Amino acid sequence: MSQEVRALVAVDPSEYSKKAVIQSAKFSKKTGVKLTLLHVIEDTKSYREIPDTWAHQQKAKKAQALLDELKKLAEQYGAKDIQTKIAVGPVAEEIVRIGEEENYDYIVVGTRGMSTLKRMLLGSVAEKVVLHAHCPVVIVR
């Protein structure tokens, strides 16, 4: 009996995320991996659900529009049955939390490949996910 393999693809509005979605979709087409596109609305308070405020509603609308656009992109490259998800909180922490709680087989993140100095000053979501994820992490540059 074969088990369904699931990948959590963390996305934002960057070109790096588009590349990660395209690569994930191509791999999904070949292997049947099920994709979930996740966008995390940055919030240091780590809400588990989007609060009912006007500002958060606007962010949620933008996030859903982004997910709809990237889902269409993934479908163009052959992925099927794509799920989407929005979370709110510290980005890397939410990616890791959802990956673990929902038992994804691996996580995909796009990155611009910052220099060591910039990464030390700014931090890197991809690096934090790699360090704390319970499963393999695929980095797409």
State the pLDDT confidence band at 1, using cuts at 50, 70 and 90.
Answer: very low
Beta bridge partners of 10: 38, 109
Question: How does strand 83-89 pair with strand 34-42?
Answer: parallel
pLDDT in tens, 95-114: 999 999 999 999 999 987 55
How many percent of the chain have pLDDT more than 90? 70
Are the CB atoms for 35 and 25 separated by under 8 Å?
Answer: yes
CATH 3.40.50.620, applies to 6-140: yes
Give, for 39, the enclosing helix (H) or strand (E). Answer: strand 34-42
Domain ranges of the chain: 6-140
Residues 16-43: what's their mean pLDDT? Answer: 95
CA angle 49, 89, 47 (to 5 degrees): 35
pLDDT in tens, 35-80: 999 999 987 554 455 556 777 788 899 999 999 999 999 999 999 9
State the pLDDT confidence band at 124, using cuts at 50, 70 and 90.
Answer: confident
Residues 14-38: what's their mean pLDDT? Answer: 96
Average pLDDT for the chain:
87
At residue 54, the pLDDT reads: 72
